[in-house]
Amino acid sequence: MVQLKKEENFSEWYNSVIEENNLTDKRYPVKGMNVWPPYGWKAMRLIDTIVREEFDSREHEEVNFPLLIPEDQFQKEKDHIKGFDSQVYWVTKAGDNDLDIKLLLRPTSETAMYPLFSTWIRSHADLPLRIYQIVNTFRYETKQTRAFIRVREIHFIEGHTCHATFEDAEKQIEEDLDIMRGIARGLCLPFRVHTRPEWDKFPGAYYTKGIDTVLPDGRTLQIASIHQYRNNFSIPYEIYFEDENGERKPVHQTTFGLSERMLGAVIAIHGDDRGLAFPPPVAPIQVVVIPVLLKGEKESVEKAAGDASNRLKASGIRVRLDSRDIRPGNKYYEWEGKGVPLRVEIGRREAQENFVTAVRRDTGKKIRIESASLEHEIAALLDEISDSMLQKATMSEKAQERRVENLKDIGPGLNTVWWCGDEACGKSIDDETGSSILGMPEEKSSSKGRCIVCARDTEKIAVVSRPM
Amino acid sequence: MVQLKKEENFSEWYNSVIEENNLTDKRYPVKGMNVWPPYGWKAMRLIDTIVREEFDSREHEEVNFPLLIPEDQFQKEKDHIKGFDSQVYWVTKAGDNDLDIKLLLRPTSETAMYPLFSTWIRSHADLPLRIYQIVNTFRYETKQTRAFIRVREIHFIEGHTCHATFEDAEKQIEEDLDIMRGIARGLCLPFRVHTRPEWDKFPGAYYTKGIDTVLPDGRTLQIASIHQYRNNFSIPYEIYFEDENGERKPVHQTTFGLSERMLGAVIAIHGDDRGLAFPPPVAPIQVVVIPVLLKGEKESVEKAAGDASNRLKASGIRVRLDSRDIRPGNKYYEWEGKGVPLRVEIGRREAQENFVTAVRRDTGKKIRIESASLEHEIAALLDEISDSMLQKATMSEKAQERRVENLKDIGPGLNTVWWCGDEACGKSIDDETGSSILGMPEEKSSSKGRCIVCARDTEKIAVVSRPM
């Protein structure tokens, strides 16, 4: 069981809490390609469900494109190739035959989708096109891999849109931020939006907005990214439409990418020294019902626990009845470690007097709930837990913010600095502090200052951190 | 739109009905790797949902294993390799590096999973292990590809189980047949179970049961298969457990495979000269609501149609409101082609008198439904449609059955023949008739006859057909 302290050694705590609670199995013989056992996969699928609801409610349609991309099709947008070339896996043989055209495993699906888009889109009536898919993608990472954070087979969610104008694409990006807010609410996670510096944008993009969250050790993790492509891909891939005046124009495109890093952030930010702590919307088990038995009262207590469990299940709550013949204390410990947000204890008094005792994992608080209003009050409690988990995570994030005037003061967390905007100054922050420019925040500065490197006057601020 | 007659040219009808209704896009530049556009993907996901419900309700847990399998791991069970060797795609390079150990794209996941199973299973308390996954798998098909029926990127559902004894594994296979019955009910499809002849079993299996359905042209399609592995894989992959007496024993395993062929069968069997016909449980749109407008009454009719659509949606029915400004007749034609099982028409009379007119796609019958009981009656009608679709498909299947005494009488459909059981006789059926032995049916014969090839006395019957 988890002995490591999260604050003392975050990195080892993270690995051990994942392995002990069976969220992933890293014993698969290809490094960075991990097995999703039932408990971890259930959590990921619950996150996917939230993502689907957010996309679907904004009229994005789910599709599924092939994994393998022919080499010639991949090479049409030259910045894009340059960005991914060193990271792709190549299929060169099938059966005993060498392939005439090599096939690559998608690192992302622009080059699989866009040749088809050029046949799907003919006129302005076909726009906007808004689709997404949830698929496995592959990147040959050379850095050290880490469960859910840096892997070689990525569980990837990618939204792709096409629009008649740049302005329409800009509006889409605003909507993507709404989608992100909806998803983050489900994960009980705060996030920041940073427009990445030029040298750190997505290969082929006009600009990139990173969705970043701060981990407990002060490093930042990009959990999603949104890209404005303008017509950078539509011209080489010939995605043109005829506008109302019969004029042929390239579409403007955006993409929105998310991955299992969301699960990594959930684990890292909400977990504690007792183990995992799942927010109720993505908890594989939201409520565990535990009969607390003393000798001779077995029957009525077990019946009350079974009834409560069945009623909660029927109301749509993910519940587990734990009737194993081991001491209740051991069960409490185990389910806390697995991150179940709410425990329901039912003993002799509860069974006789028709109530249950609910215990919140986050606060330890015990709440008496009358059986008559069981479903309603448990659902309300789960909502309350979500609210407090988001609030707590938001406060931790705020505690990681600081305004910094000198390079030597740059530390863990989010350092806001004045920056002239030059790449040279940006990169020397990296060289001198080991932290780098995440990008420009959404909020603009209303005053002026001096670049933290060259001391020139500037109105620009940037956020500096050490990314995961 | 669909002009082809299903009876006259089934094969072309099948292709055109799929393309015209946007279930797949075959313009992707790698043959046999098709794009799933929104409508087709929605249908597939609804089938997946039924599959998940059937597995989950029988305590199978969903997992997700890596796609890429190292060559050495793949080669432990020798019949299995022989069966798949000519069909695998090989990853030999990553970035600029040649890989030390080649990786193959899973054609099926035995060799990805079983090395891990050997770490997951220690004692009898870990058994049974019952998992499934829904993933992309790859087979380098050399035969002509066909949408949903023979593809190179397969949408694959694979159940894997481990048991303490052969008898427990046999019971699992009975349960798999229950799962299959549940799924087939959702698809409104009949199916037959045939124990495949030795030479046609799954590579590495002890025996294979094929789940076959008959297509309108008299050919049969295997939509699923169930395999008893005995300990054929557990010995080479070292999946052993300690039994109650402390003895170390290899587990007994089964697998259950299903794919997008289920969707292919739904299209082929239920469709007609007007286009697709989806069974309600897997119809992406179950009900289309169409306001039938005459001049001057626009507002009340549109409001009534909008209300009906919202109420149906709120009750969990997949509904589409079609308010486009085109003639109702054109809409009827289009939604029939797309296979929507029920149309709801709302005109002036309906709006004034508070009812709707429902029209069944399968029978053309018009039904008056009072608004007060809208949700309830529409749900009941959808159930009725499912029942009639299953009944109709079952009758068509029965019409394809025949008992055959002479090789020259073997024709399309299911030919039941006497067979001595010898491979030589089995294969000569193939050579002489072009049809082949599907296998032995579940029902045993109670009498005796003479082998249709060698005329020896036998108690065995076999079913002969021309498989797709």
A218 pLDDT higher than 70:
yes
**Interface contact A90-B86, CB threshold 8 A:** no
Query: Which tokens belong to A18?
Result: 């994942």
User: What distance in Å separates the CA atoms of residue A73 and residue B171, rounded to the nearest whole number?
Assistant: 50
pTM, two decimal places: 0.97
Query: Which one is predicted more confidently, A275 or B2?
Result: A275
Going by pLDDT thresholds of 50, 70 and 90, the confidence category of residue A242 is very high
Query: Which one is predicted more confidently, A75 or A47?
Result: A47
How many other C-beta atoms can be found within 10 angstroms of the C-beta atom of residue B458?
Answer: 20
**Interface contact B103-A119, CB threshold 8 A:** no
Which pLDDT score is estimated for B299?
Answer: 87
A283 pLDDT higher than 80:
yes
A295 pLDDT higher than 80:
no
- What stretches of A397-460 adopt beta strand conformation (E)? 401-403, 414-418, 436-441, 449-450, 457-458
Give start and end residues of each alpha helix (H) in B246-370.
261-270, 298-314, 328-337, 348-353
Contact A452, A404 (CB under 8 A): yes
Among A35, A45, A67, select the one facing B66 at the smallest CB separation. Answer: A35
Chain A CB within 8 Å of residue B29 CB: yes
Among A70, A85, A153, select the one facing B30 at the smallest CB separation. Answer: A70
Question: Which are the contacts of B189, defined by CB distance < 8 A and separation ≥ 6?
Answer: B213, B223, B262, B265, B266, B269, B390, B393
Query: Which tokens belong to A53?
Result: 């609801």
Distance of CA A122 to the CA centre of its chain: 35
**Interface contact B68-A33, CB threshold 8 A:** yes
Contact A265, A213 (CB under 8 A): yes
Bridge partners of residue A257, in order along the sequence: A158, A225
Chain B CB contacts of A38 below 8 Å:
61-63, 131
A85 pLDDT higher than 90:
no
Which pLDDT score is estimated for B314?
Answer: 97
**Interface contact A95-B85, CB threshold 8 A:** yes
**Interface contact A116-B27, CB threshold 8 A:** yes
DSSP B126-164: G-SEEEEEEEEEE----SPPBTTTB-SEEEEEEEEEEES
Residues A407-440 as b/e (b if ≥16 CB within 10 A, e otherwise) read beebebbbbbbbbbeeeebbeebeeebebbbbbb
Residue A387, amino acid:
D
Among A44, A103, A116, select the one facing B25 at the smallest CB separation. Answer: A116
Chain B CB within 8 Å of residue A86 CB: yes
- Assign A370 to helix, strand or coil: strand
Going by pLDDT thresholds of 50, 70 and 90, the confidence category of residue A246 is very high
Which pLDDT score is estimated for B78?
Answer: 83
Going by pLDDT thresholds of 50, 70 and 90, the confidence category of residue A99 is very high
| C-alpha to C-alpha distances, A174 to A132, A167, A170, A179, A221, nearest whole angstrom | 17, 11, 7, 9, 21
Q: What is the mean pLDDT of residues A233-238?
A: 96
- Report angle CA A336, A340, A343 to the nearest 5 degrees: 80
Percent of chain A beyond pLDDT 70?
99
Which pLDDT score is estimated for B38?
Answer: 98
Question: Which are the contacts of A35, defined by CB distance < 8 A and separation ≥ 6?
Answer: A24, A25, A26, A27, A28, B63, B64, B65, B66, B116
Chain A CB within 8 Å of residue B207 CB: no
Nearest-neighbour CA in chain B from A104: distance (Å) = 9
The candidate with the shortest Cα–Cα distance to B276, out of B288, B268, B284, is B268
Going by pLDDT thresholds of 50, 70 and 90, the confidence category of residue A299 is confident
Query: Which tokens belong to A20?
Result: 């002990």
Chain A CB contacts of B37 below 8 Å:
63
Nearest-neighbour CA in chain B from A45: distance (Å) = 10
User: What distance in Å separates the CA atoms of residue A313 and residue A30, rounded to the nearest whole number?
Assistant: 39
Which pLDDT score is estimated for B102?
Answer: 96
Start-to-end C-alpha separation, chain A:
26
**Interface contact A63-B103, CB threshold 8 A:** no
Bridge partners of residue A287, in order along the sequence: A319, A342
Chain A CB contacts of B74 below 8 Å:
none
**Within chain B, which residues score under 50 in pLDDT?**
2
Contact A371, A310 (CB under 8 A): no
Chain A CB within 8 Å of residue B371 CB: no
Nearest-neighbour CA in chain A from B67: distance (Å) = 8
Among B62, B91, B153, select the one facing A66 at the smallest CB separation. Answer: B153
> ω before A128 within 30° of 0 (cis)?
yes
Chain A CB contacts of B67 below 8 Å:
33, 67, 136, 138, 153
**Interface contact B27-A86, CB threshold 8 A:** no
Contact B72, B101 (CB under 8 A): yes
| C-alpha to C-alpha distances, B225 to A24, B155, B157, B215, nearest whole angstrom | 29, 15, 11, 17
User: What distance in Å separates the CA atoms of residue A225 and residue A137, rounded to the nearest whole number?
Assistant: 16
> Left if phi > 0, otherwise alpha if psi is -120 to 50, otherwise beta: which for B204?
left
DSSP A200-223: GS-TT-SEEEEEEEE-TTSEEEEE
Which pLDDT score is estimated for A296?
Answer: 67
- Assign B429 to helix, strand or coil: helix
> ω before B128 within 30° of 0 (cis)?
yes
Among A29, A66, A91, select the one facing B89 at the smallest CB separation. Answer: A91
Chain B CB within 8 Å of residue A316 CB: no
Q: In chain A, positions 38-57, which contact chain B (CB-CB < 8 Å)?
A: 38, 41-42, 44-45
Nearest-neighbour CA in chain B from A96: distance (Å) = 6
DSSP B163-174: ESSHHHHHHHHH
Query: Which tokens belong to B133?
Result: 């996954």
What is the tens place of the pLDDT at every residue in A323-339?
Answer: 999 999 999 999 999 99
Which pLDDT score is estimated for A6?
Answer: 93
- Report angle CA A427, A430, A432 to the nearest 5 degrees: 110
Phi, psi of A49 (to 5 degrees): -65, -40
Query: Which tokens belong to B97?
Result: 């590096």
How many other C-beta atoms can be found within 10 angstroms of the C-beta atom of residue A1?
Answer: 10
Contact B434, B188 (CB under 8 A): no
Residue B274 DSSP label: T
Which pLDDT score is estimated for A297?
Answer: 74
Contact A270, A277 (CB under 8 A): yes
